[in-house]
Structure 1
Amino acid sequence: MATQVDNSIQIVDLNDEVQCENADERQNMEKKKIVIFDVDERPPWYLAIVLGFQIVFGVLLTWMIALICTTSGVFPENPSTYGYAARTDLKSYAIEEASWFYIPYPGQWGLPVITLAGVLGMFSAVIASVIESLGDYYATARMAGASPPPPHAVNRGIGVEGIGCLLAGLWGTANGTTTFSMNAGLVGLTRVGSRVVVQMCALIIIVVGMLGKVTALFSSIPVPIVGGMLCILFGTVLAVGLSNLQYVDLNSPRNLLIIGFSLIMGLLIPYWAGNNRELIQTGILELDQVIVVLLTTGIFIGGLLAFILDNIIPGTIEERGLVAFSQQSKEDYGINSLDVYELPFGMTLLRQWKWTQYIPFSPTYTRKRITVAKKDRSNVGNVETIANGV
């Protein structure tokens, strides 16, 4: 039995009459965007609840165990004793002091104060956050089975993060707004990539955020439980990031040098900068803050070094994996797969207005193609598909 999911994807039950006679036929079916898997007899409610909420169930179960161990006296009451951090009553005061209902509003802590040091410090943090967000976008798209995000989608994402930072400053949250790598890990583990689900979660978080007692209750989750969850989720994101190296030539000494040097420097430099902040003294306090923030951000250091080395060390586009990545994207997703990055409404008007193709965050935005002689294959700009952001 063959089930048509959409115009490009078909699900085939190998337990039924449709069978793959040989490996060549199976490979051809996969190239035609046919998803092949063995259908089990588990009911839909099991797939939706048990598999979709496995992270939630895991946290709730360990939280209940920690609560039982706390009330029964298993965990010590001495802060210096091992196991104390797993107690669930460490922040019980927050639950008692929190109000039942509170609506935050702009300027609730007074008018925003703008200083040069604050602006430069936040600017450096935003630069590092943008680099991390780029990786999160591509990781989430891959986990959700979508095509790599086009330039206009990336531009909209960065722009919305900027708007979120502005609103966060007005509301006085004392932190910026950016993508969270753990959420990308959730997509990979739960296999839920629907935007409707994300929108419903955002609505729930907004409502729960106005219930002080509920938010204070969540703050009582022991740190070891949160740490274990982060290990799984961030590990998933790390694995997806490393899997992108499958397109490059890992037998090339050039690529091995770039990968190894960027990874080790992304670990060592932030460690050194975090323990030697007093050595960074330029005479300008604001500049010192910017340098410290950038040097203590491992993703920024590793990504920047990899970007610089990949563009200054000679190497062919095949060696760098650009051709393989472009071809794989076309075979896996096709041309129409970029429709998922369009706006849910107003696309007809945007296509009628020709001037929208010059707006970087518009779904109709088109980049100028770069085409050079084919014999010169050492520059990324030689690949037309890459120049178009595919």
Structure 2
Amino acid sequence: MKSRKDIVLDIHEKPSAINWFSLSFQHLFAMFGATVLVPFLTGLSPAVALISSGLGTLAFLLITRGQVPAYLGSSFAFIAPIISAQALGGPEAAMLGSFLSGIVYAIVALIIKGVGHKWLMRLLPPVVVGPIIIVIGLGLAGTAVNMAMLENPGDSTTYSLLHFSAALVTLLLVIGFSVFLKKGFLSLIPVLLGIVGGYIYSIFVGLVNFNLVLDAKWFQIPEFVTFYTGVDFSWTIVALMVPVAIVTLSEHIGHQMVLSKVVERDLIQKPGLHRSIMGDGVATIIASLIGGPPNTTYGENIGVLAITKVYSVFVIAGAAIFAIAFGFIGKISALISSIPTPVMGGVSILLFGIIASSGLRMMIDSKVNLAINRNLIVSSVILVIGIGGAMLKFSNSFELHGMALAAILGIILNVILPGREEVAGDMYNIGKKSA
């Protein structure tokens, strides 16, 4: 147990006014780069994403009774499904899928409250979750590369060395900051620093258009979108987005284990995994009602807690309020929108690769033995089905795509193939080893 002197601010302690401001801003910067990257990639509003992350975090803190100091931001797992859903029915369709995913969270939370959480761990062992996370990262690899080197990411004939140079500069800066900044506040925001550096380079080479920033108002109502404005229900949308909750649920559990280690409290027992999952689900539902991407707890902010020893939920709430306020500042929204596509492409190359690598690390940390045929089969099927973009199409109204199909097949194979208990891997070890 940490001694009293090691903890700067405990979970329910309030900071002074000046410290409150600076500590909350630190959490805001830690989540900022990744949170605005998701809407940037999916065509949603970065301003709405900031607002939804703030509202979602406040809802999470209330539902967990102020006992879990976690910040929620945009989920990377939903990038590809959101893009596909929007192709079917616009942003409203994506919001419908997001809403239903949040409902899945709520249902799982209620089941956990009734019967406990071990069934979920058996359904989602590392041999299933690890390859699915790899699919998330590698499935987006083409998107990142096209953003980095094409003047028009939708047209392969528009290769631009100038654009690619901006992507490479950004990528190298993020790598440099990640490797060489090992202590202090700046070490927490290498992605944001890389984006700033790439943005400055892009200004010098003429890739930035400031007209939108100059024309934007200081106070501006962002463009909210919701699913109940006319989108028709579609089983294809359900099949695209709802199964992704399988991945984000396991991600949530891992984060709660790591956070429990950081604050030296068993958060899975108190306030309970059912409360934190319910909070995550409600945050995603809130996002779907205003046009933001689904939310998830952020490892970046857990890192801030571990380094600063400031566990106060009041600091987390302050960061959420700042995020909401930023969403209504038109100049900031316009500035985010002015970031050139290749800059975000350069960042994405690393981030998507890290997502894939984290799935591999999950399998290694859990000691999943791929010399055993059942593990090799489960992981192989998930990887090829997911990355290859396989599709199960029953009719024009129901299609099961890539990652969703891979997740379902992985779960089924893990359940029906013999030897599951002996070789599935212990997901609880991940939280212990990552802390």
TM-score (norm 2): 0.47
1:61/1:330 Cα in 2 relative to 1: closer, same or farther (>3 Å)? closer
* Counterpart AA for 2:422: E
Alignment-derived partner of residue 247 in structure 2: 132
Is 1:63 equivalent to 2:63 in the alignment?
no
Distance 2:182 2:363 in 1: 35
Per-residue CA deviation, residues 206-252 of structure 1 (Å, 9 max, x unaligned), is 11101011111011111222122223233333322222223222221
Structure 2 residue 110 is the aligned partner of structure 1 residue 113: no
C-alpha distance after superposition, 1:252-293 (max 9, x if no partner): 12211211121111111x2x54xxxxx9462xx5x33xx2xx
Q: Secondary structure at the match of 2:295?
A: coil
The answer on 1:232 being equivalent to 2:350 is yes
Residue matched to 2:361: 243
Q: Is the 8 A contact 2:257 2:267 kept in 1?
A: no
Larger gyration radius, structure 1 or structure 2: 1
Instruction: Choose the corresponding residue for 2:384, options 264, 272, 280.
Output: 264
Alpha-carbon offset, residue 6 of structure 1: 4.0
Q: 1:96 to 1:50 in 2, by over 3 A?
A: closer
Query: Within 1, Cα distance between the matches of 2:213 and 2:341?
Result: 17
Tell me how far apart the structure 1 counterparts of residues 334 and 432 of structure 2 sit (CA, whole Å): 49
Q: Which runs of 5+ in 2 are unaligned?
A: 8-180
The CA deviation at 1:110 is 10
Unpaired stretches in structure 1, ≥5 consecutive residues: 11-44, 71-86, 274-278, 338-390
Q: Which residue of 2 aligns with 1:5?
A: 2
Instruction: Map 1:39-54 onto structure 2 (within 5 A).
Output: 47-54=183-190
Query: In the aligned structure 2, how far is the partner of 1:46 from the partner of 1:114?
Result: 50
**CA, structure 1 residues 332+260, in 2 after alignment: closer, same or farther (shift >3 Å)?**
closer
1:263–1:302: 8 Å Cα contact kept in structure 2? yes
What corresponds to 2:341 in structure 1? 223
Of 265, 270, 294, which residue of structure 2 is paired with 1:177?
Answer: 294
RCO (CA 8 Å, sep 6+): is it higher in 1 or 2? Answer: 2
Q: Deviations for 1:176-223, whole angstroms, at most 9, x for unmatched residues?
A: 53328xx44676799769575654432222111010111110111112
Residue 425 of structure 2 corresponds to which residue in structure 1? 321
Q: Which deviations, in whole Å up to 9, do the C-alpha atoms of 1:96-117 show, x marking residues without a partner?
A: 4432203469xx78994355x3
Match of 2:115 in 1: none
Partners of 1:320 and 1:200 lie apart in 2 by: 41
* Residue identity opposite 1:167 in structure 2: I
Match of 2:218 among 75, 79, 100: 100
Q: CA RMSD in A?
A: 4.2
Q: Distance in 2 between matches of 1:158 and 1:241?
A: 21
Query: What residue in structure 1 maps to residue 401 of structure 2?
Result: 295
Q: 1:254 aligns with which of 374, 389, 406?
A: 374
In the TM superposition, what is the alpha-carbon distance from 1:93 to its structure 2 partner? Answer: 4.3
TM-score of the superposition, structure 1-length normalised? 0.52
Give the AA of the match of 1:160.
Answer: G
| Alpha-carbon distance change, 303 to 199 in structure 1, aligned in 2, over 3 angstroms | farther
Amino acid corresponding to residue 421 of structure 2 in structure 1: I
| Corresponding residue to 1:167 among 274, 286, 289 | 286
Shift of the 122–130 alpha-carbon distance from structure 1 to 2, 3 Å rule, reads same
Amino acid at match of 1:267: I
Larger helix fraction of residues? 2
- After TM superposition, give the deviation of residue 314 of structure 1 in Å: 0.7
User: Residues 143 and 191 of structure 1 are in contact (CA less than 8 Å); yes or no, is this contact kept in structure 2?
Assistant: no
Amino acid paired to 2:417: I
Matched residue pairs, number? 252
Structure 2 Cα separation of the partners of residues 255 and 110 of structure 1: 41
C-alpha contact 1:66 1:88 (8 A) present in aligned 2: yes
Q: What secondary structure, in the 3-state scheme, does the structure 2 residue paired with 1:47 have?
A: coil
Q: How does 1:147-162 map to 2 (within 5 A)?
A: 150=268, 154-162=273-281
Distance, in Å, in 1 between the alignment partners of 2:221 and 2:393 is 42
Residue pair 2:386, 2:406 contacting (<8 A) in 1 also: yes
Distance 1:330 1:237 in 2: 17
CA distance, structure 1, for counterparts of residue 370 and residue 341 of structure 2: 39
Output the CA distance in 1 between the equivalents of 2:323 and 2:350: 22
Identity of aligned residues (%): 21
Q: 2: distance between equivalents of 1:161 and 1:5?
A: 28
Q: Flag the 1:195–1:302 CA change in 2: closer, same or farther, 3 A.
A: farther
The answer to whether the Cα contact below 8 Å between 1:250 and 1:256 also exists between their aligned partners in 2 is: yes
Q: Does 1:211 align with 2:329?
A: yes
Q: 1:120 to 1:139 in 2, by over 3 A?
A: same
Closer, same or farther: CA 48–65 of 1 in aligned 2, 3 Å: same
SS at match of 1:99: coil
